[in-house]
């Protein structure tokens, strides 16, 4: 059960094998509004997640999605429907985000059942793009904070070193002028290095964040092929010498975030109370524990590539 205490939403998990009649009725309702809906009788291998609005009168279903208990191809969602009377409220994106939160709990990567319908693509594209852009900006912000902290630490070390040298020079000024000159030169060199570290650069190796497609997948649980598709849709993915690169500065990513915002209502992972089915990690090719990063280091000049760097193979 997932509880959003701010707007009072609840999501219930229902096993199709235990509540066969109820789940069949959900499928019949979906068949009224989805032309491609074909499965409505054999609900045993599926789990159903019903989203409800909560008020003083009780629980009011507003939509649902279903997924297979175990998918050989890594699908984390089979069918999704927001009831027509509750559409245009963000509930479809909420259910999509919820499905990926469950996938994170399972420590897997997942994708909706393919081929997707036109309505499915319209629902998933905004979620993928907004989630990936937010992740890239967060990663970039964290690196900026680390560089700032490192710069402050280096500056403090340089100041402390200079203070010790100055005290030592005052104590030995009448007896060792040569040592004083050497120490002054050393202090000036340290300050110059610190200044050079603070200057911007256009080199990928020093100014960019290097990560692989799998690094993004591990944090978002979005399948690699969906990540590549979304980056292409955003127009920031380049393929150079067999290596994927995100060609976007921080300014470009912030503009994309304004264009593709993460809308409300949002899923609060801290309110998620759920235990996944136990599976054999070694045999599950969609488990994150079976994934390995593959970051390809490249170093070349590119004035317009200043924020996100090499993204290696899948």
Q: At what angle do helices 118-172 and 224-234 cross, to 10 degrees?
A: 80
Contact 207, 58 (CB under 8 A): no
CA distances from 252 to 63, 118, 300 (A): 35, 28, 20
DSSP letter at 277 equals P
Furthest-apart CA atoms within the chain: distance in Å: 97
Alpha-carbon distance values, 159 to 149, 172, 187, 191 (Å): 15, 20, 9, 9
Q: Where are the beta strands (DSSP E) in the chain?
A: 2-4, 9-15, 46-55, 58-68, 75-77, 79-82, 111-112, 209-212, 237-240, 243-246, 308-312
Catalytic status, residue 18: no
- Rounded CA gap, 65 and 67, in Å? 7
Q: Judge contact between 36 and 117, C-beta under 8 A.
A: yes
Compute CA 174 distance to the chain's CA centroid, rounded to the nearest angstrom. Answer: 62
Omega before 265 cis (within 30°)? yes
Catalytic residue from among 101, 106, 113, 165: 113
CA 127 from chain center: how many Å?
11
Q: Cα separation of 261 and 134, whole Å?
A: 8
Catalytic residue list: 113
């Amino acid at each position: 059960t997932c509880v959003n205490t701010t707007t009072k939403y609840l999501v219930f998990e229902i096993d199709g094998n235990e509540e066969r009649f109820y789940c069949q009725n959900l499928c019949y309702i979906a068949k009224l509004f989805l032309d491609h809906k074909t499965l409505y009788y054999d609900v045993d291998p599926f789990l159903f997640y019903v989203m409800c609005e909560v008020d003083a009168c009780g629980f009011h279903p507003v939509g649902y999605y279903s997924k297979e208990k175990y998918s050989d191809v890594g699908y984390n969602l089979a069918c999704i429907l927001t009831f027509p009377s509750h559409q245009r409220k963000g509930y479809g994106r909420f259910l999509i985000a919820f499905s990926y939160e469950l996938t994170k709990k399972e420590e897997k990567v997942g994708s909706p059942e393919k081929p997707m319908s036109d309505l499915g693509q319209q629902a998933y594209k905004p979620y993928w793009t907004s989630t990936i852009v937010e992740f890239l900006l967060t990663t970039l912000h964290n690196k900026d904070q680390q560089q700032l902290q490192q710069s402050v630490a280096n500056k403090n070390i340089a100041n402390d070193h200079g203070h010790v040298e100055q005290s030592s020079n005052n104590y030995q000024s009448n007896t060792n002028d040569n040592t004083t000159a050497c120490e002054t030169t050393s202090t000036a060199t340290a300050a110059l290095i610190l200044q050079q570290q603070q200057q911007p650069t256009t080199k990928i190796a020093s100014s960019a964040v290097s990560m692989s497609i799998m690094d993004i997948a591990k944090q978002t649980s979005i399948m690699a092929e969906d990540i590549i598709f979304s980056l292409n849709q955003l127009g920031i993915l380049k393929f150079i010498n067999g290596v994927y690169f995100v060609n976007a500065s921080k300014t470009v990513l912030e503009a994309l975030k304004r264009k593709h915002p993460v809308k409300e209502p949002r899923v609060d992972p801290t309110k998620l109370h759920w235990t996944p089915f136990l599976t054999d990690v070694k045999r599950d090719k969609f488990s994150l524990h079976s994934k390995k990063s593959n970051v390809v280091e490249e170093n070349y000049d590119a004035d317009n590539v200043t924020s996100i760097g090499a993204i290696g193979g899948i």
